[in-house]
Chain A
Amino acid sequence: MNTITLGLKKWWIPGLLLVILVLLASLRFYVSTYTVILATAILMYIILTESWVLFSGPTGYISLAPAAFFGVGIYTAAILGMHLPLPVVVVIGGLASSCLALLVGALTLRLRGIYFAIFTFGLVEFMKHLLLWYEIKFTGTRGRFVVLVDNNTIYYMMLAILVVLLLTTYLIRRSKYGLALRSIGEDEEAAAHTGVNVTAVKVITFAISASFMGAAGAIIATRWTYVDPYIAFDPLFSFMPVLMAIFGGMGQFYGPILGAAAFAYLEEVLITKFPYYYMLLFGVILLITILYLPNGLVGLIQRLQKGGWGRRHANT
């Protein structure tokens, strides 16, 4: 009896994940094209959020660079999409973003707190204007057309990137580097004095996180068909992962996934149902979340599990 419960405990999470994966993989057979496209957008937001949390969650370095890495991926697809097979383009998009992250990380990860946030945000603007300048000066155009890919392929690529990302996150979190990342977030100086090569751990994790953002950008660009620097380096893609992570709650592995999925779906519903008021409603929902659910949806779930709203713990 005991061994059975133990066995169930051990297997029900991987089992559940497998069922979800099969459901997601076979989604196109029982839903409309519209739903597949919506699901692609949701997967994209989950990738952006989860990869943001991979670095910023444990270390506490608030990066506002996702839009920059995402944009690099988008432009990789715009430039190479016509010439190379799609998976290669996606991989190059990821690699290009991680190279940028290595460079920027090595230069700026000595900055802490608000300075790091501002700098990484500046990177988005810098990349945007650098590209604008380049395009107008050398190619004489502002935007580019991206190769067309059918919706199902985009969906499957997105799903594949997400699966790799979740596996990577899981492995990092349970490895000694996961512990090192957390120690950096807790006290960087103490971490360095305990033998953690803080610079290397930070820069490499930053680059890994960026590579998934770039890969997601490379694949979503093919759905947009036309991009210019303003579309590709939209600051919204820097803020969305942060908001979604807060919305979901960062304490648990599944928090950011939940947050991104709920948030992206909510956005879609509000846009279609209340096209004029959606930003307003969106803002109100976000405010309520931050005020009443400081630990996000995960906090809400944990509170319900612990026995509802009534019970409060003494300050122990």
Chain B
Amino acid sequence: MPILEGEGVTKHFGGLTAVSRVDFHVDQGEVVGLIGPNGAGKTTLFNLISGALVPKDGAIAFKGQGITGLKPHRICRMGLARTFQSVKVFPNIPVFENVLLGSLFGTSTGMSSADASGEAEKALEFVELSAVSPILAKDLTLANQKRVEVASALATKPELLLLDELMAGLNATEVAEAMELVGRIHAQGITIFMIEHVMKAIMGVCDRIMVLHHGEKIAEGTPQEIATSKTVIEVYLGE
């Protein structure tokens, strides 16, 4: 059963069609990858799903409920969390409070502050950052800032997590650690929809991959099918 579904989703920026009539779906429990060359509209699609942008056309449903045009905080509270390509932590707020914001405001039911603290601690432990919890987020390395972002998304108790280039800018060791983290998140029963440029990562962890090019969906299938697909190779390497 699809947890996330989009139909004919379209977004223009002036004369540019960033996302054009894209149909997609993510099933409960899946790890779905979204790839495509720069400017293909991947992040725009994520922005449309998370409510940062409102589609011009088309409809998006989460758990069977329409979320098109809802405010980001409403979508987050329904159980759909995300991270950003250009890491968005709260730089001058300690790591713990960064995550606490998620459990205080982002959960569907709301929590007492004691429960929220507990939840934030758990999320920090999960991403292995308990040791730095009193440090300002801006003083962490990029890899750790990305982990803070993930922790604060996890603290909102999501059912679906959108990861926008979690591995971009990380070194080989950090990529391996990030892949392991994605695996553990998935093992918690959280469905994952991820944008990634690191092919090794995406081929390794995804059940299914979607390819965007110039705002249109040009291919979809298992990692094997995508790796051997003629259209995809043409798009990436030229004819």
Contact = CB atoms under 8 A, between A and B. Distances in A.
B156 A190 contact: no
Given A179-B97, A189-B52, A195 B90 contact: no
B24 interface: no
Contacts of B152: 194
Contacts of A182: 90, 92-93
B101 A191 contact: yes
Contacts of A195: 73, 76-77, 101-102, 104-107, 156
A196 B91 CA distance: 17
B92 to A, nearest CB: 6
A176 B101 CA distance: 8
Interface in A177-202: 179-180, 182-183, 186-187, 189-199
Contacts of B82: 193
Q: How large is the interface on A (under 10, 10 to 19, 20 to 34, 35 or more residues)?
A: 10 to 19
A183 B152 CA distance: 13
Interface residues of B, number: 30
Nearest to B72: A192
Interface in B63-94: 71-73, 76-77, 81-82, 84, 88-93
Interface string A157-180: 000000000000000000010011
Contact of B90 (A176, A183, A199): A183
Contacts of A199: 71
Contacts of B224: none
A194 B156 contact: yes
Interface string A84-107: 000000000000000000000000
A182 to B, nearest CB: 6
A159 B107 CA distance: 40
B50 interface: yes
A194 B105 contact: yes
Contacts of B113: 176
Contacts of A179: 93, 97, 100-101, 104
Contact of B89 (A190, A192, A196): A190
A186 B105 contact: no
Most buried by B among A179, A180, A198: A179
A178 to B, nearest CB: 10
Contacts of A197: 71, 73, 105
B90 A190 contact: yes
A290 B88 CA distance: 30
Interface in B44-72: 50-52, 71-72
Interface string A282-301: 00000000000000000000
18 contacts: A176-B116, A179-B97, A179-B101, A189-B88, A190-B88, A192-B52, A192-B71, A193-B50, A193-B51, A193-B72, A194-B76, A194-B106, A195-B104, A195-B107, A196-B73, A196-B105, A197-B73, A199-B71
Given A192-B52, A194-B105, 14 more contacts: A179-B97, A179-B104, A180-B104, A183-B93, A187-B90, A187-B91, A189-B84, A190-B84, A190-B88, A192-B76, A193-B84, A195-B73, A195-B76, A199-B71
4 smallest CB-CB distances across A and B, nearest first, come from A195-B106, A195-B105, A190-B88, A186-B90
